[in-house]
Structure 1
Amino acid sequence: MKNIICRVFYSLIFLILLSSCKKENHLIKIEGARIEINDSISDNPDIENFIKPYRENVKKNLDSVLAYAPKTYSKGDGKLNTAIGNLMADIVLEQANPVFKSRTGKTISMVLLNYGGIRAPIPKGNVTSRTAYQVMPFENSIVVIEMKGNHIKKLIEYLQKAQQAHPISGLKLTVDTNFEVVKALINDKEIEDEETYFVATNDYLYNGGSEMYFFKQSGKLYTLNYKIRNAMIDYFKKVDTIAPIVDDRFVQIN
């Protein structure tokens, strides 16, 4: 009898435990509060002391003078080409070409970047790494695309329709009042349909950014693993003064 009572007791305990395990919790309410981070929140001395040497080192690297700009250069200083845009495209050509040539034995023919990629002017005065970060805050890397002349003509058609100062280098484009092509040269030579050209741009544009879909419709892609911003910094380090100008690389004539 005792054994039967024990069995009943343990069975009851088991059933109670089992039923409690099956209980479901239901979320009734979620509450949140906006905590504003402002000057009223006091600094933590320990955290400040830990961060301070890193912050000072970053500031030192960003604000070290690399070159000098005799005037302010803005992307609004020209209609179809601008001094700052010309500078950026020329920098990509000059800095990326040795890398591309060392890996492939070939030479970059021209450069096309996008007007919207210039995010700040270069102000008059000292040029620093911070300047490069402000002008080009994106992580865009330089790529080179193998293009036949007939695909280059699609690139030119894009520039005709855009009617904007997209940075170019190596290409010389003249259009009339209706934006019809009067002259289009690469390295001062007529563009041949079956000729192979190597066009440097960035990975964002290659993937269709700014509606530049013609790049992916072209040939082989070469990735240089070289950011445009780093190319700018490397260029600034080797020159004393930058003095880009608005020129005749993309102009409209009557």
Structure 2
Amino acid sequence: MKKLTLFGLLLAATACQRSFYVARQQSSRLSVDATVAADSSTLRWLAPYKQQLDATMNAPLVTITERLEKNTPESALDDLLADALLAQAGKKYGKTIDVSHLNYGGIRNGLPAGSVTTGNLFEVMPFDNQLVVLTLTGAQLMQFLNHFAANDNALVVGGVRVRVHDKAVTSATLTNGRTIVPDQSYTVAMSDYVANGGGGADFLKTVGGRDNVNYLIRDALIDYFREQGKAGKPLTPQADGRITLE
């Protein structure tokens, strides 16, 4: 009887519920007036957090001798960032990395001449992309290089020198001395965006050898620049000709 009574009460309550529907929609534009005075109490509450954030973002990492911009088929900035990722990925992964790759479209700013800060690196790499290490066969590695070379020669890589003709790779040589053999395995450090098929690289979705490294690409760059800064010498990056158009 108790179960039946509770069930009956539930039915009665459900039957008495009112139903609602949208009768009318209305919208209006709210303008933000920059001349309105800031709320002083809010500013006081935010002040310590802003000071801490400013101290972090304005912290100098290293000095470079001239402003750097990305460019195709290659630039000093492209090479510097790719080499930084190659070095830090190897340390974090704990194993040798053969090739590093950065998505050209993901590089959103250049680096200023003089002191380079943490904030500058956030401007260069604003996205929270994670480091992924894929193990590719030599055939897959060549497919990977060809894919990004075909994309307006936007190939930002470390650990490899590539010759390109009509947006197709004619030769690729690893700088660690290894030869690219179709059925051998090679480790490639890249962002999770690309590893997940971003930039049209859908063929990477089926790659079996994948290690997700808990390390932001941006943090890898920050750590590299900080380590370089500790040496006390300014960086003088130069494009080294790793991408050759024939």
TM-score range, shorter chain: 0.7 to 0.9
Counterpart of 1:114?
A: 103
Q: Distance in 1 between matches of 2:198 and 2:167?
A: 23
Aligned equivalent of 1:55, options 17, 33, 50: 50
Q: Does residue 168 of structure 1 match 2:157?
A: yes
Counterpart of 1:5?
A: none
Q: CA deviation at 1:27?
A: 5.0
Q: CA deviation at 1:238?
A: 1.4
Counterpart of 1:100?
A: 93
Secondary structure of the residue that 2:214 maps to in structure 1? strand
Counterpart of 1:13?
A: none
Q: Percent identity?
A: 28
Conserved 8 A contact 2:161-2:174:
yes
Structure 2 gap ranges (5+): 1-15
Q: CA deviation at 1:97?
A: 0.3
Q: Does residue 243 of structure 1 match 2:236?
A: yes
Aligned equivalent of 2:30, options 22, 30, 35: 35
Counterpart of 1:11?
A: none
Q: Does residue 156 of structure 1 match 2:145?
A: yes
Q: CA deviation at 1:26?
A: 6.3
Show the 5 A alignment for 1:224-239: 224-239=213-228
Aligned equivalent of 1:91, options 78, 84, 95: 84
Deviations 1:149-198 (A, max 9, x none): 1111211321342242321011111134x345443112343311111101
CA RMSD of aligned residues (A): 2.2
Q: Distance in 2 between matches of 1:194 and 1:201?
A: 21
After superposition, the Cα gap between the structure-2 partners of 1:26 and 1:75, relative to the gap in structure 1 and judged at 3 Å, is closer
After superposition, the Cα gap between the structure-2 partners of 1:30 and 1:193, relative to the gap in structure 1 and judged at 3 Å, is closer
Counterpart of 1:7?
A: none
Q: Distance in 2 between matches of 1:35 and 1:185?
A: 58
Conserved 8 A contact 2:146-2:167:
no
Secondary structure of the residue that 1:168 maps to in structure 2? strand
Secondary structure of the residue that 1:216 maps to in structure 2? helix
Conserved 8 A contact 1:173-1:250:
yes
Aligned equivalent of 2:118, options 105, 122, 129: 129
Q: Distance in 2 between matches of 1:24 and 1:218?
A: 51
Aligned equivalent of 1:219, options 205, 208, 213: 208
Secondary structure of the residue that 2:205 maps to in structure 1? coil
After superposition, the Cα gap between the structure-2 partners of 1:23 and 1:250, relative to the gap in structure 1 and judged at 3 Å, is closer
Return 130-139 or 60-69, whichever deviates more: 60-69
Q: Does residue 45 of structure 1 match 2:52?
A: no
Conserved 8 A contact 1:85-1:165:
no
Q: Distance in 2 between matches of 1:237 and 1:55?
A: 22
After superposition, the Cα gap between the structure-2 partners of 1:161 and 1:30, relative to the gap in structure 1 and judged at 3 Å, is closer
TM-score (norm 2): 0.84
After superposition, the Cα gap between the structure-2 partners of 1:249 and 1:50, relative to the gap in structure 1 and judged at 3 Å, is same
Q: CA deviation at 1:206?
A: 0.5
Conserved 8 A contact 1:70-1:124:
yes
Amino acid at match of 1:95: Q
Conserved 8 A contact 1:148-1:218:
no
